[in-house]
Structure 1
Amino acid sequence: MLITGSTASLRVYVSQWENGKRTIGDRYAKILRSVLGITDEELFGQRATGALPVETGGYDELISRIESARSVSLTMVKTFMDQTELLRTVDRQMGAGSLVDQMGGHLAALEDALTFSVLPETRRPVATALAGAATLAAWQALDSGGVERAWRHYELGKRAAQEADEPMYLAHATAEQAYVLHDAGRPQLAVDLVREARRLGGQQMSPRLSSWLYAAEAELCAKAGLADDSRRALDKAVDCLPAGTETRDPDMLSIFLNTGHLARWRGNVLALLGDDDALSSLYAGLKAADPTFIRATSGLRCDLAQAHLARDEYDQAQEHLQQARLLANRTGSVRHLRRIEQLTERL
């Protein structure tokens, strides 16, 4: 049984609580939580600001946030996507290390907008923007060595894609998540997941995304020691890729893939398989590489080093590893630096 003070005493206490002159003890905190219908966080958060909540239900604030989310227009969604695009560009050229706080704030704003959106016509565009941003954040986290953070961001991206009813975004997030499994030492599970990604995309995938998914499957199969499966997937990637020099998928802006990119990817796969044709594909990819894709070029140099090592060409391999290290240091890519160390041990 809780014993409280007299009415006069309680009035003094409340005045002191409101003015921050008295700390709410456990005994009165229990009573106030029950009477006001609030949590510890709400009670003590309000206390820290020097005032007890006036609105016991919090409905005014809730409705305010719902109304704010309701006003999110297509223009605002475009602003969210433009912000994602800016972060993607900075990441590509400078690496993810300097973007952790910015990306965290961006995701929080998108999640907040989605949480307080009510009707589907508002929720779906926001969810689409969140799916793209979360998948980018996940790849950045993986590149920086934040494995669990990457996994959680991929899960967020997948949930957002499902909410938005966007199979392409769902397939892309799922396929990239397979790389987390590979890096964690589960290559066969990674292959299973990238194949599941193709199933999730179904018939609604664009040709460029289909090519990207097959190339990812080819790479993961090669890493899992499934040579025949890898070659079949690689052939399908080539067959699916649209002709021309266009790089980006208009239906999936996070996908960059043309014949030059695929040549690099093909060389990577062939190098993993120990194929003699790897070098020609890799050098073709290096020649066509966009100089602003710093992290991708670091990976390409690693692929070239691996292909030369397979031919016992140690001087050439060392030269490419030196270039790869310089680029990886510029972007702070933990993932590439780890691979560079592994290849260096073979020199």
Structure 2
Amino acid sequence: MIVEIENRRSIMGLSAVNRASLKTYVSEWENGRRSIGEGDRRVLRSVFGLTDGELFEQVAAHDVLDAAYAELALRIEESKSVDLRMIDTLAGQTELFRSWDRQMGAPSLADQLSAHLSTLENALAYSVLPSARRPVARVLSGAATLAGWQALDVGGVDRAWRHYELARRAAVEAENPALMAHAMGEQAYVLVDTGNIDLAFDLIHEAVACAHGKVPNRVLSWLCAAEAEIAATAGRPDDSHDALERSAEWLPDGQEMRDSEVPGIFLNGTHLTRWRGNVRTLLGEPGAIGELCTALDAMDGSFTRAEGSLRIDLAQGYLACGKLGEAREQARLARSLASRTGSLRNRRRLDRLTVKISTST
């Protein structure tokens, strides 16, 4: 090969190089220690009958591969800095997003929460040991569930579904049945909003069954309340009442509404009263208005979007009783709250309700 290169250089009119030096050049080219000038590139293309890409991309591929190994090693090394203190910080960020969401709504949080999820996904992807992965996965599942609810609230049903799928996968990684059940329960609402109500009932029913005996009582109470609402939506009053009774049985006493196992759940007696009023409104039963008013009087003022949803239920209850003035007023207040929080989900409910109120005049 050296002789051939020497001959081709001569034919192409390149400056003469003695054979010993040419051997050194070839060795240095092969080991990447010497760049190949355009003249020698023409020589090598002629000798081997290959293109530039075919001849020289191998060197570039080695460079890319080395860079990829270095990048992976760096990310794995960086993941070691995600200790319990950092995990607590990430969990605290999720809690801040959750607080902002219930008061101000989802639209203003979309970019920040997306970046937060990316941080958590990367932290999980490059953590190696299961003992390091589980706590990260736990925080990721909670954040993804929050992101799912926010997406659903602004009409992003496919995005909501994907977030809940991420929450379920993270719950498996975290080995946490409570987080899994919560994600399944929330995901059932996506099915409701897309019209798959029977499938939604089957999903929430399985979530309750999977959670029984494995999750805190407050979580099980929340799941049963969700089952009652979805059963009412599906036109299954007996299943709905049965689920409400089970929810009340599992709910712990007192005004505490949080459980450390699933921070995304807020449920105490006041919340369950609101939920019961919602279910009875869906079923067209008497007594719904009284329970909704009781819940409204006791509601924490920071639950802005939840108040909007409650007032929609009240408007529906008043409409069913023929009290059109009260129905209009509650719908007006609910629309103001929906505008404040950017809740397209509540606006859709209000639009349908407004048509019913107008046709009842």
* 1:250 maps to amino acid: S
108, 121, 137: which is aligned to 1:127? 137
Whether the 8 Å CA contact 1:167–1:202 is kept in 2: the answer is no
Whether the 8 Å CA contact 2:205–2:227 is kept in 1: the answer is yes
CA distance in 1 between partners of 2:250 and 2:117 (Å): 33
Q: Which residue of 2 aligns with 1:321?
A: 331
Whether the 8 Å CA contact 1:36–1:56 is kept in 2: the answer is no
* 2:95 maps to amino acid: E
Whether the 8 Å CA contact 1:328–1:336 is kept in 2: the answer is yes
CA distance in 2 between partners of 1:144 and 1:227 (Å): 29
> TM (normalized to structure 1)?
0.87
Whether the 8 Å CA contact 2:305–2:343 is kept in 1: the answer is yes
For residues 103-252 of structure 1, the aligned pairs below 5 Å read 103-252=113-262
CA distance in 2 between partners of 1:33 and 1:290 (Å): 65
Query: Once the two structures are superposed, what CA deviation does each residue of 1:264-314 show, in whole Å capped at 9, x if it has no partner?
Result: 000000010011011111111101111110000000000101111111111
5, 28, 38: which is aligned to 1:9? 38
Whether the 8 Å CA contact 2:41–2:52 is kept in 1: the answer is no
* 2:97 maps to amino acid: L
* 1:272 maps to amino acid: L
Query: Once the two structures are superposed, what CA deviation does each residue of 1:134-178 show, in whole Å capped at 9, x if it has no partner?
Result: 000000000011111000000000000001100000000010000
Q: Which residue of 2 aligns with 1:43?
A: none
Query: Once the two structures are superposed, what CA deviation does each residue of 1:160-200 show, in whole Å capped at 9, x if it has no partner?
Result: 00011000000000100000000000110000011111133
Q: Which residue of 2 aligns with 1:308?
A: 318
Cα pair distance change 1:345/1:71, threshold 3 Å? same
Structure 1 gaps, min length 5? 1-5, 14-26, 39-52
80, 87, 90: which is aligned to 2:90? 80
RMSD of aligned Cα (Å): 1.9
> TM (normalized to structure 2)?
0.83
> Quick one: percent identity of the two aligned structures?
50
* SS of residue paired to 2:263: strand
Q: Which residue of 2 aligns with 1:44?
A: none
Query: Once the two structures are superposed, what CA deviation does each residue of 1:201-249 show, in whole Å capped at 9, x if it has no partner?
Result: 2311111111100000000000000111101101111111111111112
289, 303, 310: which is aligned to 1:293? 303
Whether the 8 Å CA contact 1:325–1:340 is kept in 2: the answer is yes
Cα pair distance change 1:115/1:278, threshold 3 Å? same
CA distance in 1 between partners of 2:253 and 2:53 (Å): 68
Q: Which residue of 2 aligns with 1:56?
A: 66
* SS of residue paired to 2:322: coil
CA distance in 2 between partners of 1:172 and 1:31 (Å): 57
Larger Rg: 2
Q: Which residue of 1 aligns with 2:22?
A: none
Cα pair distance change 1:11/1:70, threshold 3 Å? farther
* SS of residue paired to 2:309: helix
Larger deviation: 28-37 or 135-144? 28-37
Q: Which residue of 1 aligns with 2:347?
A: 337
